[in-house]
């Protein structure tokens, strides 16, 4: 394959949509429920996401085993999601991200009795 002259750019809107989709995938919610913003971090991109998290219906959670089956506590899931979101967005966009900051802004109970874990 030959290299052609010119340049490629991924718009901020495209990066934002990708970040919303990656975050929604991790938390089992719709991309429209996720807010994403960007900041400069010493020449790299820092991603901030605000999202609800899908959780099982509360009356279906009787003990720690039910929390584990749902993917862990909200805190554990948010902590694990940082790396997964960073890898997904970086891998698909080619952008160099320095970090992902996650803010959980609510929960979305699922009707199936289990949160969607990805």
Model confidence at 116, in pLDDT bands (50, 70, 90)? very low
Q: Which residues of 71-99 are buried (b: 16+ CB within 10 A; e: fewer)?
A: beebeebbeebbebbbebbbeebebebee
Length of the chain (residues): 118
The arithmetic mean of pLDDT across residues 24-45, rounded, is 95
- Strand order of the β-sheet with 44-56 is 35-41, 44-56, 97-110
Tens of pLDDT, residues 47-64:
999 999 988 877 777 777
Tens of pLDDT, residues 78-101:
999 999 999 999 999 999 999 999
Whole-structure pTM value: 0.83
What is the dihedral sign for C-alpha 108, 111, 114, 115?
Answer: negative
Other C-beta atoms lying within 10 Å of the C-beta of residue 31: 16
Question: Secondary structure of 45-104 in the HEC alphabet?
Answer: EEEEEEEEEEEECHHHCCCHHHHHHCCCCHHHHHHHHHHHHHHHHHHHHCCCEEEEEEEE
The DSSP bridge pattern shows strands 97-110 and 44-56 to be parallel
């Amino acid at each position: 394959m030959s290299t052609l002259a010119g340049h490629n750019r991924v718009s901020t809107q495209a990066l934002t949509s990708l970040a919303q989709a990656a975050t929604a995938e991790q938390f089992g919610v719709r991309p429209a429920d996720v807010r994403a913003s960007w900041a400069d971090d010493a020449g790299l991109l820092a991603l901030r996401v605000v999202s609800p998290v899908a959780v099982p219906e509360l009356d279906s959670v009787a003990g720690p085993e039910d929390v584990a089956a749902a993917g862990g506590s909200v805190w554990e899931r948010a902590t694990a999601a940082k790396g997964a979101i960073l890898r997904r967005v970086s891998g698909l966009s080619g952008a160099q991200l320095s970090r992902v900051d996650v803010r959980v802004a609510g929960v979305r109970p699922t009707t199936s009795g289990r949160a969607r874990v990805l």
